[in-house]
Structure 1
Amino acid sequence: MSGINHPQLCRGDRSAILPAIREQLIRAGSTFPGIAPADVADPENFDDHIDAAVRAFQQDRGLLVDGIVGPQTMGGLESAHWRLGDRIVRFVPAHELVGDDVRTLQTRLQSLGMLDGQIDGAFGAQTDAALRELQRDLGLDPDGVCGPETLRGVSRLGRAVTGGNPFALHERARVASSGKSLAGRVVAIEVGGLDERTGSGLVEIDVTSDIARRLEGRLTAVGVASVMTTFTAGESGSSDGEVANRIDADMFLSIRADSHPNPTASGFATFYYGRAHHSSDVSPVGHALADFIQREVVARTDLLDCRSHPRTWEVLRTVRMPAVQISTGYLTNPGDSRRLADPAFRDTMAEAILIGIQRLYLPEEDDHTTGTLKIDDVLNYRP
């Protein structure tokens, strides 16, 4: 199914590719009844069984749980297809290999103390360097190709690192040792959204751009260099954070707004890289930053608390620093849209985001109760 554009599918649809999707779900570990093509009378029908299995798969993979088999879910199914040893994997800069086989290799390299990067299932430069180091230690040609000979060597090795996830430990240590002041840090801000007017009269990209500019001004005031880019698209999580990686930013923020066919949907949410119930597949600092921003915005506004959630969206996976996607509210909800149309409300949100960023760098003994830290306090942390 890879490399082919397929229409989005959901419950009630019929498609000739649904039998293949059923097989992919089974290979990904689905144990729901009525999934196997041989067990149903009409395997090309997107029935309730497939809907339940797709939603469970999306939940496990850190995808949006909507029961729709679109590009993100199809990509997840393709990744889940691969087991370590099914194919030869290596670093291809123009087209990174992605799959569960790469994730397994990364987990093994991390357990051996050779990879302190994020386990994300993408064969990037860090994985390549770690694999070559392993090959040298095994007395093999350090060609960066994970083939049968390298796999045999890996299978003979035991676990070298104990006491926690090395990536998580290193990520936390970098934050703890960097000091309390925000001055001198670099924040990459991606403004995302549709350039279309919603029923409320608001345009997503206009709302998110304005909030980002207000945040940018406050960051500048406390000594933070910020770089802002605009990404206009229809699907959440489809950006790659290339600019953030190029400038080696300290953190990456993606600011979006939500819409929903049901006008009662409302609230503020944040997202960080991770998969639910998979402690090794998470950015701990991204999680902490998302929580701080979430708590500060909810405390300083009357937006519904939709909490922070792990996701494996490309925009969160491909950046090399802690990343958070901020969902500012629902433009299709009368209450949220009324608030987001108010410049004073946008100011409040921008300030709350800044305070959330500051709290990430405060040691526990210097932290403040949610909703009480002020801009003047942030300025006082400057050297």
Structure 2
Amino acid sequence: MGKPLSVDEATLRKRAEPMKRLIRQGDRSDQVADVQARLRALGYMVDDDSGDFGASTQLALKTFQQHRGLIADGIVGPDSWDQLVEAGWRLGDRVLYMKYPAFRGDDVQTLQNRLNALGFDAGMEDGILGVDTDRAVKSFQREYGVAEDGIVGPHTTIALTGLRIDRPGTAAELREDLRRAEHGGIHQALIAIDPGHGADDSGGLSEGLSEADLCWDLASRLAERLTRFGARVRFTRPETENPDSTTRAKRANQISADLFISLHFNAHSKPSAEGSSTYYWRTSRGGLQLAELIQDELTRLGLKDCRSHPGSFAILRETRMPAVLVEPAYLTSPEDAKRLDDPEFRTAVADSLTSAIRRYFESK
């Protein structure tokens, strides 16, 4: 017997469609109207005419992006579109079950949170219904007398939402702690390094500096230093490739890496913007700790502290281990760019990242 559908196939296909172009201020289209409708449904004020991307739509979008841990640029790109779609789902809106491609959404994240809080290990609360969540659903159904079919329909949803929760779940956090404790230090730890961009995607450009080249250079320096301390290092891509975020995360997951470090450099329309920032998946305690350690080390180099932030980027969400996206400096800052042009400074950045990673593995 096939799995039930909560919405018609056409709607599912529409929701799954990838972004074909960026949507930004000044655009007029049905896609803009769709974005506006989603923002309004989420409680954001949009006063522009339907289909007209004006200042009100941009302000609402920027506020949404800030709330979701995205870059608040007021442009609807793939990450923002995915988050708009996923934010519209509430637990009970649709029937959830294990399938490919997996269900994604805030309803799935709520499901994972409830299961973890009740003591069922649903894995990382990433809003993606995978094997861990499916297993936890069936365990819950078995224990609470609901048909053990892995389908989160009305009966399972009512059972889940009707139970009192005394404390938040810690299953994923415990796994992170146990993995770190197994090493007791950086020796033999397997670290996935993800150099941003690559191949025909040069990333940001400023003062003759290519973000892709800088990412590869920094990744190579970091790998050399980590290896000296006994760590095992793997890159998510060769120098001539530019895989998408899902592929990069999948490669790290396939080797069961202990840590994931994604390297990028920031950019801004204002040259005065400068400094270092780090991002981590919002429910990852290990990711938060590592991000703050990296920030601490980078600011010792004299870089402005732009702080650590919870992020909703796919590269952080889809990795199964503590993951941090690092932006050590701004390519568009004359001061930062001047420092990045110096190989000795890039070596110092690699040393700082290495120190932070060592501190992470040595902490309790």
**TM-score for both structures, normalised by structure 1:** 0.83
Identity %, equivalent residues: 35
**Does the residue aligned with 2:196 lie in a helix, a strand or coil?**
strand
User: What secondary structure is seen at the aligned counterpart in 2 of 1:17?
Assistant: helix
Q: Does 1:76 align with 2:80?
A: no
CA–CA separation in structure 2 for the residues paired with 1:257 and 1:238: 20
Cα distance in 2 for residues equivalent to 1:214 and 1:75: 34
Which amino acid in 2 is paired with 1:185?
Answer: A
Given candidates 232, 249, 252, the residue that maps to 2:257 is: 249
Give 3-state SS (helix, strand or coil) of 1:177's partner.
Answer: helix
SS at match of 2:236: strand
Secondary structure at the residue paired with 1:290?
Answer: helix
Residues 1:222 and 2:222 are matched in the alignment: no
In the alignment, which of 45, 58, 62 is matched to residue 55 of structure 1?
62
Find 1:10's aligned residue among 5, 21, 24: 24
1:1-383 map, 5 Å = 2=15, 3=17, 5-30=19-44, 32=45, 34-35=46-47, 42-92=49-99, 94-115=100-121, 117-159=123-165, 162-167=166-171, 169-171=173-175, 173-174=177-178, 177-178=181-182, 180-193=184-197, 194-195=201-202, 198-230=205-237, 240-274=248-282, 282-299=283-300, 301-363=301-363
8 Å CA contact 1:240–1:318 kept in 2: the answer is no
Q: Is the 8 A contact 2:112 2:122 kept in 1?
A: no
- The alignment's C-alpha RMSD in Å is 2.4
**In 2 relative to 1, CA 234–265 (structure 1 residues): closer, same or farther, beyond 3 Å?**
farther
State the alpha-carbon separation in 2 of the partners of residues 197 and 12 from structure 1. 24
Counterpart secondary structure, 2:346: helix
How many angstroms apart in 1 are the aligned matches of 2:344 and 2:351? 11
Amino acid aligned to 1:131: V
Contact 1:192 1:255 in 2 (8 A): yes
Distance in 1 (alpha carbons) for counterparts of 2:98 and 2:227:
38
Which deviates further from its counterpart, 261-270 or 208-217?
261-270
Q: CA deviation at 1:158?
A: 3.1
5+ residue gaps, structure 2, are 1-13
What letter is aligned with 1:290? A
What is the alpha-carbon distance in structure 2 between the residues aligned to residue 72 and residue 249 of structure 1?
A: 24
Displacement of 1:163 in angstroms is: 4.0
8 Å CA contact retained: 1:103, 1:122: yes
Cα deviation 1:133-170 (Å, max 9, x = unaligned): 112113344322212232233244333xx344414651
Q: CA deviation at 1:283?
A: 0.9
Residues 175, 361 of structure 1: 8 Å contact kept: no
CA contact (8 A) 2:246 2:318 kept: no
Tell me how many residue pairs correspond in the alignment: 345
Structure 1 residues 197 and 362, CA, compared in 2 at 3 Å: closer, same or farther? closer
Distance apart, 1:183 and its partner CA:
0.6
